[in-house]
Structure 1
Amino acid sequence: MNMTIDNTKAETIAGPALSGIQAAPRSGKVGVMLLNLGTPDGTDFAPMWRYLREFLSDPRVIELSRVIWYPILYGLVLTTRPKKSGANYKSIWNEERNESPLRTYTRAQAEKLATLLTDTPNVVVDWGMRYGSPSTASAVQRLMEQGCDRIVMFPLYPQFSATTTATASDQLFRALMKIRAMPAVRTVPAYYDEPVYIEALANSITSHLATLDFEPEVVIASYHGIPKPYSDRGDPYQAHCLETTRLLRERLGWNDKKLITCFQSRFGAQEWLQPYTDKTVEKLAREGVKSIAVVNPGFSADCIETLEEIAGEAAEIFHHAGGKNFAHIPCLNDSADGMAVIEALVRRELSGWA
């Protein structure tokens, strides 16, 4: 059906004709923003306090009522935890750049992605953090200053959780809420079962195991945990983790005794997803298992949870309980396999835009 609307009536409906105003031309540039969890700016008390306050004040991370949680956070956690966390960060700190490994790797991923996308015109790559710096808002600003009117945001979390992926999206849209001429946005979905990701993990595992002078009897796929009530209320994270492990077993030809799933990094008194990584490592050693390896499929880059908690603390627990050989398999980081995952998913999401 063809319809013709009289200009006079149209002005009555939509207001006076804006005859002298032209729409701003499209720049044609598309921004790609890699977004990871975050990092403190230093290991001393003050930067650790700022980082932990921002992180632990997020209602997606701590779902307790503010009335209950804030007195605990400000009265206990933020008076004691910054010193302990700072010492842990100091043990893995990139002294050359004076920054955490997570910041080093995320920057490297963005720089390498920019190089990989040089054949795609008008694409600008940047990166940011959900907590700490560089902030999500600053990454959006830099992309817009370079003429990007569309942004593909890539939360670097393979498995979806409201505590990670969702809060990254929250932060992006908080930044956009302050912008009148805001860009259009796409977000890369969780990629826990993407063939390119499973292949990259399998290659990483087999290539690292080939460098060892022992063969692990058990390989633990250790994922960051979340409180069990979050999962019970519908967070799909646990199911995503279990599916990643299942696909890895299938790809590697291993059974459920060789590759097992565990969850780490619990915080507070409530129950978290089980089995716990630290308890499992200790149990295996006490049962006579002498050689194990741990991989962290839920982390796109090595960080405090993988380098200090697993490569350091879990190894110590295993040896103290009678274990002999322990290996931590690095995250994909900015390796060729890791970049293949990021590039493939970004190119897919750029379809129709670039």
Structure 2
Amino acid sequence: MTTRQDDRSGQDASPRLADHPALPQPKIGILIANLGTPDATDYWSMRRYLSEFLSDKRVIDYPAWKWQPLLQGIILTKRPFTSGANYKLIWNNEADESPLMTITKSQVAAISDRARALWGDRVMVDFCMRYGNPSTPAVVDRMVRAGCERIVFLPLYPQYSGSTTASANDQFFRALMTQKWQPASRTVPPYFDRADYIDALARSVERALQGRVPPRLVASYHGMPERYLKEGDPYHCQCQKTSRLLQARLGWPDGVIDTTFQSVFGSEEWLKPYTVKHVAELAQRGITDIAVISPAFSADCIETLEEIQGEIQEAFTHAGGRNFTYIPCLNDDPAHIDMLMTLIGENLAGWI
């Protein structure tokens, strides 16, 4: 006995055996990706996470024979303790997860609700992390098993960098390599200069500062080695453009917004000026009222909740600063979700 059954392309298939395995209803997947988070703050959880992160050749491109003995020996013997202590300061104890995980879940829930209202059950929304859990391969496999024959992959990095956007794409492509039946895929480009992204940033500034113009707004971006810029990475230029566009949208005069870089690691020269040094220099020059925003981060995380509001704020106040205002990341702000949904819709063109 045979029966007719639609295949994953949605077209009427030729007759199949009655005992042929059932195929899921064809879907389009929207896969949101962020950097990642440790599963817990204990030594071994931190070591697993840091080992995966710092073993990524996109992040640290030294030869393995030179880097891995140093990483697996000295660095991963000590750093999990200090990183774990920093994570404990910001950990969401109620949910037993990092704030990045909590916020990412909230963002994805909002996107899922919007997608369901627009496209019903034809679209599946999920998220993955480049490092840690849920892993990119596990989520891609789940989406394929659920019937996703096409996937839009959206790394939540406004500015492109080989160490972030490209690394996330690499892992997505590696996950596709394991699939017998690969879905068609699209990767979403960076959105550092989109008008709706800049507007969402500007509105967050206006809301946090209640309309006032501070003596200085420090736009602090995650850093990277200067060498990467010289080797062709566009990240530095895209950060500078985001700051320029934000200033124009706010209508502020030149010199109010400073672009700086944080999270320096290792002995190489990184993009300058360094945020922690720059805010101290501002205070020493008599600029004792500043605000700080992090346009490279789509969600508040260890770099914003602990580094900026801890180490960087302390450097400012120690040097004589008085008023330090941190402007939260866009997180699950409706304007941010609106922008992401528009971006997703553009990249679904022709698919739905």
Same fold (TM over 0.5): yes
Partner of 1:134: 134
SS at match of 1:263: strand
Deviation at 1:232, TM superposition (A): 0.5
Partner of 1:207: 207
Could you give the per-residue CA deviations for residues 250-308 of structure 1, whole angstroms, max 9, x where no partner exists?
Answer: 10112331111000001000000001100101100111111001000000000000110
Partner of 1:162: 162
1:27 and 1:149 in contact (8 A); partners too:
no
Partner of 2:54: 56
> What letter corresponds to residue 71 of structure 1 in structure 2?
P
* Percentage identity across paired residues of the two chains: 52
In the TM superposition, 1:1-354 aligns within 5 A as 27-118=25-116, 119-121=118-120, 122-210=122-210, 216-354=214-352
Could you give the per-residue CA deviations for residues 315-339 of structure 1, whole angstroms, max 9, x where no partner exists?
Answer: 1111111000001100000111111
Aligned residues: 334
Partner of 2:9: none
1:204 and 1:337 in contact (8 A); partners too:
no
SS at match of 1:69: helix
Deviation at 1:61, TM superposition (A): 0.2
List, as ranges, runs of 4+ consecutive aligned residues in structure 1 with deviation greater than 3 Å: 19-22, 24-28
> What letter corresponds to residue 305 of structure 1 in structure 2?
E
Q: Distance in 2 between matches of 1:266 and 1:21?
A: 59
Q: Distance in 2 between matches of 1:132 and 1:314?
A: 27
1:160 and 1:237 in contact (8 A); partners too:
yes
Partner of 2:7: none
SS at match of 2:153: strand
1:311 and 1:327 in contact (8 A); partners too:
no
Q: Distance in 2 between matches of 1:113 and 1:145?
A: 21
Query: TM (normalized to structure 1)?
Result: 0.91
Q: Distance in 2 between matches of 1:113 and 1:67?
A: 43
SS at match of 1:220: strand
Deviation at 1:25, TM superposition (A): 8.1
Q: Distance in 1 between matches of 2:63 and 2:16?
A: 49
Q: Distance in 1 between matches of 2:15 and 2:41?
A: 56
1:112 and 1:339 in contact (8 A); partners too:
yes
Deviation at 1:76, TM superposition (A): 1.1
Could you give the per-residue CA deviations for residues 47-90 of structure 1, whole angstroms, max 9, x where no partner exists?
Answer: 00000000000000001111111111012110110000001111
> What letter corresponds to residue 295 of structure 2 in structure 1?
P
Could you give the per-residue CA deviations for residues 200-234 of structure 1, whole angstroms, max 9, x where no partner exists?
Answer: 000011101118xx863100000000101011000
Partner of 2:3: none
Q: Which moved more, 1:135-144 or 1:157-166?
A: 135-144
SS at match of 1:114: helix
SS at match of 1:261: strand
Q: Distance in 1 between matches of 2:142 and 2:335?
A: 28
Give the root-mean-square deviation of aligned CA atoms: 1.8
Q: Distance in 1 between matches of 2:138 and 2:103?
A: 19
Could you give the per-residue CA deviations for residues 73-122 of structure 1, whole angstroms, max 9, x where no partner exists?
Answer: 01211011000000111101011100001111111111110101122130
Deviation at 1:138, TM superposition (A): 1.5
Q: Distance in 2 between matches of 1:290 and 1:65?
A: 44
> What letter corresponds to residue 187 of structure 1 in structure 2?
T
1:32 and 1:124 in contact (8 A); partners too:
yes
1:26 and 1:149 in contact (8 A); partners too:
no
Task: Give ranges in structure 2 of 5+ residues lacking alignment.
Answer: 1-13
Q: Distance in 1 between matches of 2:136 and 2:254?
A: 39
SS at match of 2:131: strand
Partner of 1:6: none
1:296 and 1:306 in contact (8 A); partners too:
yes
SS at match of 2:296: coil
Q: Distance in 2 between matches of 1:149 and 1:83?
A: 43
Q: Distance in 1 between matches of 2:181 and 2:192?
A: 34
> What letter corresponds to residue 200 of structure 1 in structure 2?
A
Q: Distance in 2 between matches of 1:267 and 1:90?
A: 21
Q: Which has the larger radius of gyration?
A: 1
Deviation at 1:28, TM superposition (A): 3.5
1:129 and 1:135 in contact (8 A); partners too:
yes
SS at match of 1:152: strand
Partner of 1:4: none
Q: Distance in 1 between matches of 2:119 and 2:258?
A: 40
Q: Distance in 1 between matches of 2:104 and 2:29?
A: 16
SS at match of 1:117: helix
